Amino acid sequence: MIVKDHNELFNDTAYVEQFERKREFENPPPAGDVQKTAQWSASAEYMEKNFKREALVINPAKACQPLGAMLCALGFENTLNFVQGSQGCVSYFRSHLSRHFKEPVAAVSSSMTEDSAVFGGVNNMLEGLENAYTLYKPGMIAVSTTCMAEVIGDDLNSFIKTAVEKGIVPQTLDIPFAHTPSFVGSHITGYDNMMKGILSGVKAGGKAAPSNSINIIPGFDTYTGNYVELKRLMNLMGVNATVLADISGTLDSPNTGRYQLYTGGTPLSALKDSINALSTVALQKYSTVKTGEFIKTVWGKDFQIAPVPIGIENTDEFLDMVTAVTGKPVSSEIENERGRAVDAMIDSHPYVHGKRFALVGDPDLLMGLLSFILEMGGRPVHILCTNGDAAFVKDAEALLSRSQFGKDSTVHVGKDMWHLRSLLFAEPVDLLIGNSYAKSLWRDTNTPLLRIGFPLFDRHHLHRYPIIGYQGAINLTNWIVNTLLDEMDRKAMFTQSFDVIR
Amino acid sequence: MSTLIQQTQKMIDEVMDAYPEKARKFREKHVRPNDPMRECGSACAVKSNVKSRPGVMTIRGCAYAGSKGVVWGPVKDVVHLSHGPVGCGQYSWWSRRNYSNGMTGIDNFGAMHITSDFQERDIVFGGDKRLAQICREIKEMFPLAKGISIQSECPVGLIGDDIESVAKKMTVELGIPVIPVRCEGFRGVSQSLGHHIANDSIRDHVLGKNSIDTVTDYDVNLIGDYNIGGDAWASRRILEEMGLRVIAQWTGDATINELAIAPQAKLNLIHCYRSMNYICRFMEEQYGIPWIEYNLFGPTKIYDSMRKIAAFFDDTIKERTEAVIAKYTPVMNAVINEYKPSLKDKTVMLYVGGLRPRHIIGAYEDLGMEVIATGYEFGHNDDYKRTYPEMKEGALIYDDITPYEFEEFAKRLKPDLVGSGIKEKYAYHKMGVPFRQMHSWDYSGPYHGFDGFPVFARDMDMAVNSPAWKLIRRKK
């Protein structure tokens, strides 16, 4: 039986005519006005007005703090996310993460309502901790906040203390917390706050003799494949590394016919021992600001920021950093992988060289992608970072200025994807890199889209493939060159240039 | 108490044992064996529309989700401003699949995330001043927008902003309605209050503000259909084939004009009773417009509903209705013949919102399937009352079910299919239980009407009978 669903059904005459009849009641703008306005929205005049916006934000590429906090806590063994505040937020976070990872995501809310707005959220937290502890038997509860709890000034520290004093939860249970107001920063800030909250909030075994291990903090990284790749690289080098926080087991768990609330995650014992590591290496800068400060000042331990290991040079530098800290050299197997990645990039370079790119995403991801694109001879033109700051502009511009391929670039921070729409009309590019929401730009400006970033809702499994390390460089090369070739073929389909060998 | 009811109650008791005493006492009132005879009276009614327990996972959303996400969001020529911090608008962006015609960003603003992106200064100094500026910038960026709705997020109500006065001023200054909606997420216990608040804001700011020149005896409003995957279009097709004239479609693919002219209709047809009964009751009181509930899931309910609707009109409509039913009956029978053999006697557990926990039952039954458990995220007493007669004795009915309970019941009832939402989907995949999202139609649809039923049947079949389930090597 041939079944027509929404993809085809509404092209049928019966529906085309129905839509026409409906217009009688819609009071739509005259058809000419729609076309005229659409054209005007692509003009230089519109772009000028668009960039003069001061208060209105349209299609921003950022989420809010507690989402990042939740991602961070999901990377620890037997850990339950507990969000103090309104319950709708938690449903949103869970949906958002599930749509990207195609995995179940658990979290509880303290379900605060009007009365909590008046009396504060302490009772919600006390009852919430009791219920959550009894029902979900977590090894750790990570508490973050929605803006409701922040606006009314809930004091997590004292609430949790009260819960312990009243015997609602055992004294031995770790309940780290982070204040994560949605009106400050973005999801990467929330990640940072929660990481710091967890490192400072767990009852560590105390400082002991330095272990021979290192800590690696990937940052707000939604590629489960990256975590697997990172651990593989460290294994190959014989490095004893604790990944803080490892979401790969939590958000890519095997199907065994049984659903488990807790799977994977950094073992709590390793978390507690992380204070004794030789050094902590962060793979992102902007999502580890406070965490780094904490490790340096409170722990008094070494903290280094590696360049995001995306592309060859950044990966080289990261691995060298690991060698410098641990004394373990890069293995010959990794060296071979490097050779293969470089070989792949050289093979594909003619289709990438000189191509113009637009990129939108989180600051750390952008730094890595820019570095890779420059290595291939691509020209980044528009770089847009809604949640970037002045430090990011400086870093990105420094990176771009080191390459002749970076001289056409402009870095936009605090701007949104509606700004990028104007930029793409004004100065078209060959390839746009962004998350699934960038598909509206693909449609409006006819710019081919490569989906890299977060969230990726409309394509499956991309997050399983690493974009870091030399394997990641091969994946990026594959995606970039083949997207460009697909586009080239689409355009050449009915010309002499529709070649079978590329 | 019958044996069936006793058996179900025993299962419920077992599952409730895991809760602390207080939470148990609370939760057990929300889960009941169905007693369609209602011999036990109100004592065995499912308790609903009260707060969720803190710390116990709930599947519910908030008032903002009910207003921005459900009722207002689909009104396509109005810019819906997510007023507050960035998150709420981000997570509800382009995700509900309420389809609409038009050009995004030009005369259709549905699939956009438009926000005031509150910063700390807005919390400290208030957001009203910037709100006025935002409205002006919306008008400048989107000159074809027919209105602006201000969808309040939590902080707005907590810091005491006066969005009403800004909206009033901006309505005059910009010459388009600027509509304040007090749907802060902490209000009420679920999405439900957001629906009500949104209904009230339509009543206060839009309803009756415009009119059409000619009316007919066959003018109806299609209410409470959000056009998920094109549902409202498939529904409208049936009504038009019956000879009715749909003058307003609320709110799937709606324009603000359709909200304004609705009081000129002769009859309100309401699909999602939960989210839009408020405005229907108001139109009944204020304009004397009667309203009836209908159900366009699956041929049995479609035929019933068509006849129920036709009964309000003259013989011409009644005759046309019979002719339409006669035309589609062989088509529907062909769908049943195709899919019933592989779906017969399969059991289903549902947990959804709005109308679906009761409205889809008939469609499953048309395919020979049985819904053995159902419940509502944000239902009220009147929803449950409408549900008991649809279910067999001893069937399980739950309100605001927690994922823990849902999974435990599923382990015991071993359904062949679970229909719920994105947050539940992947847990059931891990359990090896076939699953369909029944909020978004799992990116498929439409499911309403004669054009929707074949899609529904195909989708249920592909879920239940996918060979992929057999690949799972089960860990004991």
Coil, strand or helix at A17: helix
Q: Mean of the pLDDT values across residues A175-200?
A: 98
Spatial contact of B180 and B163, defined as CB atoms under 8 Å apart: yes
Q: Evaluate whether ipTM surpasses 0.90.
A: yes
Coil, strand or helix at B446: coil
Query: Does residue B314 belong to any structural domain of this protein?
Result: yes
Q: Is residue A451 scored above 70 in pLDDT?
A: yes
Query: Does residue B310 belong to any structural domain of this protein?
Result: yes
> In this structure, are B179 and B239 located in the same domain?
no
- How confident is the model over B385-410, as pLDDT tens digits? 999 999 999 999 999 999 999 999 99
CB contact under 8 Å between B423 and A109, yes or no, is no
Q: Which residue of B has its CA nearest to A40?
A: B106
What contacts B246, CB < 8 A, 6 or more positions away? A22, A25, B220, B221, B222, B236, B239, B240
Of B263, B291, B320, the domain-final residue:
B320
Catalytic residue among B62, B167, B198, B363: B62
- Chain centroid to CA A91: how far? 19
A214-217, strands of its sheet edge to edge = A241-243, A214-217, A279-282, A303-305
> In this structure, are B91 and B136 located in the same domain?
yes
Nearest by Cα to B72 from B147, B167, B155, B149: B149
- How confident is the model over B131-144, as pLDDT tens digits? 999 999 999 999 99
Alpha helices in B95-179 (DSSP H): 120-125, 128-141, 154-158, 163-174
Catalytic residue among B27, B53, B83, B96: B96
Instruction: Closest CB to B60: pick one of A87, A96, A147.
Output: A87
Of B169, B188, B207, the domain-final residue:
B188
What contacts A183, CB < 8 A, 6 or more positions away? A147, A150, B84, B85, B118, B119, B120, B122, B123, B155
> In this structure, are B228 and B269 located in the same domain?
yes
Q: What's phi and psi for A217, nearest 5 deg?
A: -105, 110
What contacts B268, CB < 8 A, 6 or more positions away? B220, B221, B223, B262, B280, B283, B284, B289, B290, B291, B292
> In this structure, are B173 and B224 located in the same domain?
no
CA A154 vs CA A124, A126, A179, B264, B339: distances in Å: 11, 13, 9, 50, 55
Query: Does residue B18 belong to any structural domain of this protein?
Result: no
Residue for token pair 């000042």: A297
Q: Mean of the pLDDT values across residues A418-445?
A: 98
Query: Does residue B87 belong to any structural domain of this protein?
Result: yes
> In this structure, are B234 and B138 located in the same domain?
no
- How confident is the model over A457-499, as pLDDT tens digits? 999 999 999 999 999 999 999 999 999 999 999 999 999 999 9
Instruction: Provide the CATH number for the domain around residue B277.
Output: 3.40.50.1980
Q: Mean of the pLDDT values across residues B19-39?
A: 91
pLDDT on residue A203: 77
Q: Which positions 269-328 of B are in contact with A (Cβ < 8 Å)? A: none
Task: Count the alpha carbons within 13 Å of A265 in the hemisphere toward its beta carbon.
Answer: 23
Of B282, B297, B320, the domain-final residue:
B320
CB contact under 8 Å between B454 and A1, yes or no, is yes
Q: Which of B21, B27, B91, B336 to mutate to test the interface with A (most CBs of A within 10 A)?
A: B91
Q: Mean of the pLDDT values across residues B257-265?
A: 98
Please state, in angstroms and rounded to a whole number, the distance separating the CA atoms of residues A127 and A84.
12
> In this structure, are B167 and B249 located in the same domain?
no
> In this structure, are B87 and B174 located in the same domain?
yes
Please state, in angstroms and rounded to a whole number, the distance separating the CA atoms of residues A387 and B15.
45
Q: Taking all residues of chain B, what is their mean pLDDT, rounded to a whole number?
A: 97
Alpha helices in A75-183 (DSSP H): 87-101, 114-119, 122-136, 147-151, 156-165
CB contact under 8 Å between B91 and A93, yes or no, is yes
DSSP string, A455-497: ---SSSSGGGS--SHHHHHHHHHHHHHHHHHHHHHHHHTTSTT
Query: Does residue B389 belong to any structural domain of this protein?
Result: no
What contacts A233, CB < 8 A, 6 or more positions away? A319, A334, A469
Burial class (CB in 10 A: 0-12, 13-18, 19+), B338: middle
A79-84, strands of its sheet edge to edge = A108-109, A79-84, A140-145
Query: Does residue B73 belong to any structural domain of this protein?
Result: yes
Q: Which residue of B has its CA nearest to A150?
A: B155
Q: Which two tokens stand for residue A105?
A: 């995501």
Element (H, E) at B370: strand B370-376
Q: Mean of the pLDDT values across residues B93-106?
A: 98
> In this structure, are B85 and B183 located in the same domain?
yes
User: Could you list the residue range(s) of the whole structural domain that residue B157 is in?
Assistant: 63-188
**pLDDT band, very low/low/confident/very high, at B130 (cuts 50, 70, 90):** very high
Query: Does residue B35 belong to any structural domain of this protein?
Result: no
Task: Count the alpha carbons within 13 Å of B46 in the hemisphere toward its beta carbon.
Answer: 33
- How confident is the model over B334-371, as pLDDT tens digits? 999 999 999 999 999 999 999 999 999 999 999 999 99
> In this structure, are B71 and B172 located in the same domain?
yes
Please name every residue paired with B104 in a beta bridge, in sequence order, or none if there are none: B108
Nearest by Cα to B395 from B46, B60, B50: B46
Query: Does residue B11 belong to any structural domain of this protein?
Result: no
pLDDT on residue A210: 76
> In this structure, are B228 and B316 located in the same domain?
yes
The number of domains in chain B is 2
